[in-house]
Structure 1
Amino acid sequence: MSQTTPPREPTNMSRSATEARKQPPPESPQSIWLRRAVMASFWAVAVFIGLPIWWKTTAIYRADLPLQDMTAWANAKVCKPVFPLRIAVVDAPLPPHDAHHLLRTTQYALDDLNDFSTHHLRLTLREMPASAPANASQQVVVDGVGEPADDGTVALYVRLIPVETGPTPRSQLQPYSATLDVYYSPNQMPSPSSTSSLLATYIARELHGIYAEERAQLAYLLSRAAGSHAAESSSLSPEVAAQLQRQSARAFKYAPTYHLTFSLFTPTSTPSAWDIEAALRQYMHPILESFASITNFTIDTQVQLYASFSPSIRQPEYDADAKAWTIHKEDLSGFINAAEWPLSPSIGKGPTINFALYIPDRDQSPLFVQGSRDNTWLVPQWGGVMILNPPPDQMASATLTKEALAPAMQAFSTQLNALLGLPQTPASLPLRISTLTRVHTASLIFSASSTLGALAQVYQKMPSIPVPDSVAQSVNQSLTHLQQACDCLRDGRFQAALENARVADGEAEKAFFERSMVGQVYFPDEHKVAVYLPLLGPVAVPLVMAALKEVKSLVAALKGR
């Protein structure tokens, strides 16, 4: 029987020989330094060539902005708008001494009535040519102070007219001229030794009342613009503040150009035409021309046949007592069938103001709003709507005449005034236009200042967004025109102030909504990591690992010594 001999364990000498055969030969000092030189060269290329190129090609250019000035304007520390209105008193029927004395006493009475320092009236004494009242130009001296020649800064002329009959003093404001006629008796003139008189007090109260709504609107704007002006508007009652809030909510924001769209809608095939051009020339163009100093208008018209009601509202119901069809008031908000009626909100360059005229079907005529015979209503910041019931003899006519369109054009004119924010008082249209000019100037100054302040905050809080030179140029132009607008307000040149404020607001909006900036606002840093990591990872890992290995070998060599 054979026996298996167990294998013998290798001796220590044989194990050492085997391990010695498995280990690579030791590196020579030259090869070690060569390997380290190669690795160092890779790191040198990455650090001194690759990193600068990456930094240069991916650097974000940020133009320098005057952040301190922008913030100062936003905080209302640079300019507080003031509105000095020059009131020219015509002195034709009075001796110079009496005219100057009446002017002084009236000014004292005005100063006592004024409780809003931002808006104040300054009386001057001037001669007004009979042919052109608005172009008066004569330098006079009042209380030793020379008044400059009229350069279009006179807001209102006061004509003193002596009368022998009728109640006095009384006044009449011209509806289409910035002129206030004051009728007085010669015995109502103040005596040289008096400091007040019935005539001076009456004139002061009339002037104060004429600009009451303007003062309220400016105080409301100041209170909304900055908390520091809240004390200025403390005199506004809650009712007045609520009314101004409603007016502001329904009116369009100021724009250099508005686009007016007049649309005719009918549920049948008649009427298929309307004499809209003649109606616009007669009823709308005079009003649009009065706004020419403030804004421009473009107009287009359209006719939509077979225009059905919106399915979201109830159909008209017949009222036997009124013998008319009625539509519920709660359905007026959904009367416009936006899904089928072609009413584009962006046809022209500026905001579009829509005026929709609806002619009901003969089977549902006359059509009225329930509980009211007023078939017109206003849609805030959109336009106006009217339901027109033509006379029975014109129901079958295919064309609406200019005369038939007269009620609609008059209603649209009133709605346009409300949508543009035209004040309701005073009775003189030129004075209301002037008030709107000053209100728009103030709102544009506040808007531009607020936009610049917001841009300054974005610039500081988001250092990763690019800021091109065009933004800096727009900001500088906006600041320049803001200062010019403020200077023009102090001088009473309100039309020039509006022009500068309009440019300032436009440049501020242009800078804030720069495309290259807006595109980077919503680009977080996590996206950058996701882009660079797949590119730099395969390159960086071998370099880092090799560097760690060499550091480890150097540390081991130092310990071996």
Structure 2
Amino acid sequence: MAPPEGADAPAAPKADPKPSDPPSESIVASRTNKQPPAETLESLWVRRWVILSFWAVVACLGLPMWWKTTAIYRADLPLQDMTDWADGKICRPVFPLRIAVEASPQVQDAHRLIRTTQHALDDLNEFSAHHLRLILADLPLPANASQQAIIDGTSSTGDDQDIALSVRLIPVETGETPRSHLQPYAPTLDVYYSPNQIPSASSTASPLATFVAHELHKIFADEQARLSYLLSASSSGHATKWKALSAETAAELQRQSTRVLKYAPTYHLTFSLFTPTSVPSAWDIEPALRQYLTPLLESFATISNFTIDTQVQLYATFSPSIRQPEYDEDLKAWTLRKEDLSGFINAAEWPLSPSIGEGPTVNFALYVPEQSQSPLLVKENGASSWLVPQWGGVAILNPTSSAAIPKALAKEALVPAMQTFSNQLISLLGLPQTPASLPLRLSTLTRVRAASLIFSASSTLGALAQVYQKMPSIPVPDSVAKSVDLTLGHLQQACDHFRDGRFQGALEHARIAEAQAEKAFFERSMVGQVYFPDEHKVAVYLPLLGPVAVPLVMAALKEIKSGIATLRRR
């Protein structure tokens, strides 16, 4: 039925668009042309100013603070002087020894005799750095003539401390002449001659002058060999003509140097009594030390000081790493093999601490074997004592009879051990075996020690200069620079004392120089920083600075790229 007239006809239903139908072109165009509003010039510059402000804070505040707080302070060091000392360019080692000649009133012209002897002595000398200067004792000189008088061999002794040896010319009527006698406990050489052996005014040589020259050369031959070996073995490169040493002499000096203790102003001596049983449990060590060892230590007082302590260790068993003693039918004794001597000291159980006292510890162990293993000897040589290089010495005290071992060792029973320990201490300290005079041997040791300390301090300065140049990342505090200055000053004073023949003063200054050089080289702040290289710093800072730096760098690159694009469009 048709709808009534005037009424609206119902709308025809619209077909739903299929989801798969593509959008019309007009809709796509409208969506494509829809862009965000253009950035204003004001907002662009605001963003750029914000980025620039961040970079300004980093560059003007962050980097200076980081540089200041992480900067390494390095004090200025005299590197050239340090290297010159290490290369031996500043101090030429010389050892002028003054020998005073005491002539009797019967000698009419003592000056001619001394000059003749000096010429003969110079002809025998093969070591130019070690020069023996003869002077006439008890002869006053004008003040302006001292230097030339020393050269001519006519000066007086002056200060007795500068005299290395005194030669007394004693005329005799009987006996073989010339002959000499070196006093064992005084730096004095007695030369006996007959009056007809004095050189005449017209002669240029005499048997007496030749004899004295040969005796002096023989007395100081060992010292010349030691000094020549020391100078040639040092890496200082001095341009001095060394005395040629035979292969045997060089090998012996090398062997001695391997067992000698490094020099120290103070040594600590530890005397220990070890026994595998409960006896002996005491020993009269204090009176034995006072009688047999204290005089020797007092003679070394000008070179080093000593402190002493003692201890007793009961039930001290052998180290399990060595063979147990074996009975030898030929020696009728219990024996230890030579290869087991190095492990004789049971370091794991015997209380021998190397850090007791101020300086290095020198250990002397006295071992009293039990009755069933006595006597106890070394199988290869039958000795009852041996030296441990750079450590100390060991002595075995075997009971003298089949009686029971006493509970306490008397002073008389310790005499062999004290003599052994004295000889071992002399070897460990590097005291020469010749000549027969103890004061001369001590003065030789003084010169050798002073020279070795100068070379050691100079070498340490050279090593410090190399570390300073090759490791710019380590800090160098002012204390190191102060120690270096003190070292250079005392080295120069030691060298000056050497030239003047004042070897005791040279030893004192060389000792201070060595201590200050070691103090500078082993400064704690420098040594610790060596183990933190630049790679370690990068590994520490990169995780901290990386997250902060990436946004800043990327924003800066974006703005730079945008600016370049804007310039190209224009």
Indicate the residue corresponding to 1:54 in structure 2.
Answer: 66
Indicate the residue corresponding to 1:459 in structure 2.
Answer: 468
Indicate the residue corresponding to 2:318 in structure 1.
Answer: 309
Indicate the residue corresponding to 2:355 in structure 1.
Answer: 346
1:336 aligns with 2:348: no
- Please tell me the residue identity of whatever aligns with 2:456: S
TM-superposed CA distance for 1:231, in Å, is 7.2
CA separation of 1:148 and 1:425: change in aligned 2, threshold 3 A: closer
1:493 aligns with 2:502: yes
**Partner Cα distance (2:147, 2:29) in 1:** 120
- Please tell me the residue identity of whatever aligns with 1:77: K
1:124 aligns with 2:138: no
SS at 1:161 equivalent: strand
* Structure 2, gaps ≥5 residues long: 1-14, 140-145
Indicate the residue corresponding to 2:29 in structure 1.
Answer: 16
Indicate the residue corresponding to 2:280 in structure 1.
Answer: 271
Find 2:296's aligned residue among 287, 297, 309. Answer: 287
SS at 2:292 equivalent: helix
Indicate the residue corresponding to 1:205 in structure 2.
Answer: 214
1:97-496 equivalences in 2 (<5 Å):
97-127=108-138, 143=152, 146-147=155-156, 149-226=158-235, 228-229=237-238, 232-233=241-242, 235-392=244-401, 395-496=404-505
Superposition RMSD in Å: 2.0
Q: Is the 8 A contact 1:91 1:160 kept in 2?
A: yes
Indicate the residue corresponding to 2:10 in structure 1.
Answer: none
Indicate the residue corresponding to 2:78 in structure 1.
Answer: 66
Q: Name which of structure 1's ranges 369-378 and 390-399 shifts more when overlaid on structure 2.
A: 390-399
TM-superposed CA distance for 1:16, in Å, is 3.3
SS at 2:241 equivalent: helix
Q: Is the 8 A contact 1:317 1:327 kept in 2?
A: yes
Q: Is the 8 A contact 1:126 1:140 kept in 2?
A: no
**Partner Cα distance (2:456, 2:466) in 1:** 16
1:534 aligns with 2:543: yes
Between structure 1 and structure 2, the one with the greater Rg is: 2
SS at 1:484 equivalent: helix
Find 2:105's aligned residue among 63, 87, 93. Answer: 93
Q: Is the 8 A contact 1:160 1:181 kept in 2?
A: yes
Indicate the residue corresponding to 2:88 in structure 1.
Answer: 76
Deviations 1:157-179 (A, max 9, x none): 00111111111111010100000
CA separation of 1:4 and 1:44: change in aligned 2, threshold 3 A: closer
SS at 1:232 equivalent: coil
**Partner Cα distance (1:141, 1:530) in 2:** 71
TM-superposed CA distance for 1:368, in Å, is 1.3
Deviations 1:253-299 (A, max 9, x none): 11000000000000000000000000000010000000000000010
- Please tell me the residue identity of whatever aligns with 1:112: D
- How does the TM-score come out when normalised to structure 1? 0.94
After superposing on structure 2, the runs of 4+ consecutive aligned residues of structure 1 that deviate more than 4 Å are 2-8, 138-148
Deviations 1:232-256 (A, max 9, x none): 3461011100000011000001100
Q: Is the 8 A contact 1:139 1:149 kept in 2?
A: no
Q: Is the 8 A contact 1:92 1:127 kept in 2?
A: no
Find 1:556's aligned residue among 549, 565, 568. Answer: 565
Indicate the residue corresponding to 2:44 in structure 1.
Answer: 32
- Please tell me the residue identity of whatever aligns with 2:133: R
CA separation of 1:265 and 1:112: change in aligned 2, threshold 3 A: same
Indicate the residue corresponding to 2:12 in structure 1.
Answer: none
Identity of aligned residues (%): 70
Indicate the residue corresponding to 1:518 in structure 2.
Answer: 527
- Please tell me the residue identity of whatever aligns with 1:247: Q
Q: Is the 8 A contact 2:134 2:153 kept in 1?
A: no
TM-superposed CA distance for 1:320, in Å, is 2.8
Q: Is the 8 A contact 1:93 1:161 kept in 2?
A: no
SS at 2:356 equivalent: coil
* Structure 1, gaps ≥5 residues long: 129-137
CA separation of 1:169 and 1:288: change in aligned 2, threshold 3 A: same
- Please tell me the residue identity of whatever aligns with 1:256: P
- Please tell me the residue identity of whatever aligns with 1:307: A
**Partner Cα distance (1:152, 1:4) in 2:** 126
**Partner Cα distance (1:6, 1:393) in 2:** 124
TM-superposed CA distance for 1:322, in Å, is 2.9
Q: Is the 8 A contact 2:128 2:242 kept in 1?
A: no
SS at 1:354 equivalent: strand
- How does the TM-score come out when normalised to structure 2? 0.93
SS at 1:392 equivalent: coil
Q: Is the 8 A contact 1:489 1:497 kept in 2?
A: yes
TM-superposed CA distance for 1:106, in Å, is 0.4
Q: Is the 8 A contact 2:166 2:187 kept in 1?
A: yes
CA separation of 1:154 and 1:231: change in aligned 2, threshold 3 A: closer
**Partner Cα distance (1:6, 1:399) in 2:** 118
Deviations 1:480-517 (A, max 9, x none): 00000000000010000000000111111100000000
Q: Is the 8 A contact 2:225 2:243 kept in 1?
A: no
Q: Is the 8 A contact 1:159 1:179 kept in 2?
A: yes
